[in-house]
Amino acid sequence: MKHVLNKLSDGHSLGREEMREAVREMLQEGTTESEIACFLTLLRIKGETVDEITALVEVLREQAMPVRKLEQGVMDNCGTGGDRSQSFNISTTSAFVLAGAGVKVAKHGNRSITSRTGSADVLEGLGVALDFDGEEIEELLNRNNIAFLYAPFVHKSLKKVMKVRREMKIPTIFNLIGPLTNPVQLDTQLVGVFRRDKLETMAEVLRELGRKRAVVLNGAGQMDEASLAGENHLTILEDDRISSVILKAEDVGLNSYGNEEINGGSAGENAAILMNVLEGREGAHLDTVLFNSGIGLYASGKAGTISEGVHLARESIRSGNALNALQSMIHYSANRRKKVIPS
């Protein structure tokens, strides 16, 4: 690890194979927490490259809980976190809207690290299990179009790294790669990032990882979600080509709201917001979910345009399909054997 840390401290980037070896060493028992913190900090200061991010993701997916290759068309809409916006759980709520619209969503998520309430905190409060194994994930996707993959359960080799991340309390490369380490082989993906300068980098990583289609976005106010407050910067991967667009709420027929109007709170408060949205209560929370779900439906290929995606998202909620997807996952969770959940 010393050689790698010295190289990074001199401002040099790591090649892909060199980064793979560094990650494997980081995950070994003998590596200290201070070495891990130093490694993550130096990568952040230098700026993470496509090769470094791709290599880290490849190693983590190799060591993750195995999930056999599922039928085509599975996506994830997990954001990176790290934007410190204190918003409610937008992508988690949107995941059920996507599922209700017929998209298979392998939702990867965690407890709160740099935000107030993470997706796992909210879903656990609603009665969703955090320990689905590979067979259950497959069954849920086939039966209900959505499964939740709790990162510490899926990536058990990261226990020490997760402890270091919590203590560091700053965004690191793990905020960038969290959405990419899903062990399910995804065809399409929507990734929100908290750093606008990383949009094209993340799109290039997604191309390296074999995504057929993807949207990477950074919202108004540097949110890792699409925002109704102004310009959203989208980088689109399609047919191996990368392009960029700027999108506002009014471009797809939605109202504008300030980011302060979508603030969240505790896990219980955010769970109540999630339920209100899936039940169709009008306002900033609903329109924000429609916006993000519309982009997700476009990213998945279910909608030909984002405007069409917003229409399909509204129908998913209006029909009750989005709420049914959540209720079915809660019911499934209550009628299965229990496992030991990592803290």
Q: Residues forming the annotated binding site for anthranilate?
A: 79, 110, 165
- Antiparallel, parallel or unpaired: β 232-238 and 104-109: unpaired
Question: Which residues define the annotated binding site?
Answer: 79, 82-83, 87, 89-92, 107-115, 119, 165, 224-225
How far apart, in whole angstroms, are the C-alpha atoms of residue 261 and residue 87? 9
**Taken in order 6, 208, 196, 24, is the CA torsion positive or negative?**
negative
* Residue length of the chain: 343
Question: Which residues define the annotated binding site for 5-phospho-alpha-D-ribose 1-diphosphate?
Answer: 79, 82-83, 87, 89-92, 107-115, 119
Question: Which residues define the annotated binding site for Mg(2+)?
Answer: 91, 224-225
